[in-house]
């Protein structure tokens, strides 16, 4: 019998999956905030990877934290140092405290505008409650809402 996953998690972004250790910011690459992976987006929609609550939403739109009420807590941090853009290139489609369903649109990002500002769009996705994960898609392309991306250890 196959092991039942404790949590369901799907890809919040379409793009290329990167091992977290290859992210140029040591806060993420050294897993100081938690385990995870990163996605280099190829399209500009960020969706909810599970049913949950928007716990944290930065006014700049560069980062959003979600929880499911059962111990799954995730930070989606769009780009590196993108807070410096003060919201340019980001359109927010949710609010802090909102209930969201898997696949709901959270953010839109203008990849070209962010890159033109000299920033990368590589998006660390961090499991913040000391959850260890195994990402099955490192080096692969994924589409938003795609299941089977991670296993929880």
CA-angle at 74, arms to 73 and 75, nearest 5°: 135
Closest CA to 45 of 77, 75, 12, 16: 12
Residue-wise pLDDT for 104-142, tens only, equals 999 999 999 999 999 999 999 999 987 889 999 999 999
Residue-wise pLDDT for 80-97, tens only, equals 999 999 999 999 999 999
- The long-range contacts involving 86-93, CB below 8 angstroms and separated by at least 24 positions, are 86/60, 87/59, 87/60, 87/61, 88/113, 88/117, 89/113, 89/114, 89/117, 90/60, 90/61, 90/62, 91/61, 92/57, 92/61
Kindly report the pTM of this predicted structure.
0.93
On average, the pLDDT of the chain sits at 93
Element holding 5 (H helix, E strand): none
Catalogue the active-site residues: 77
Per residue in 110-127, is it b (16+ CB within 10 Å) or e — as a string?
A: ebeebeeeebbbbbbbbb
Number of other residues whose CB lies within 10 A of the CB of residue 102: 17
Residue-wise pLDDT for 4-63, tens only, equals 456 789 999 999 999 999 999 999 999 999 999 999 999 999 999 999 999 999 999 999
């Amino acid at each position: 019998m196959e092991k039942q996953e404790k949590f369901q998690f799907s890809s919040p972004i379409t793009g290329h999956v990167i091992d977290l250790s290859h992210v140029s910011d040591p806060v993420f690459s050294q897993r100081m905030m938690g385990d995870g992976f990163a996605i280099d987006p190829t399209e500009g929609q960020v969706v909810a990877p599970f049913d949950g609550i928007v716990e944290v939403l930065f006014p700049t739109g560069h980062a959003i934290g979600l929880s499911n009420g059962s111990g799954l807590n995730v930070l989606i941090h769009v780009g590196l140092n993108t807070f410096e853009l003060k919201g340019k290139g980001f359109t927010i489609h949710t609010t802090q405290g909102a209930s969201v369903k898997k696949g709901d649109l959270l953010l839109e990002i203008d990849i070209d505008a962010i890159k033109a500002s000299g920033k990368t769009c590589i998006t660390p996705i961090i499991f913040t409650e000391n959850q260890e994960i195994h990402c099955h898609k490192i080096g692969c392309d994924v589409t938003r809402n795609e299941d089977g991306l991670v296993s929880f250890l």
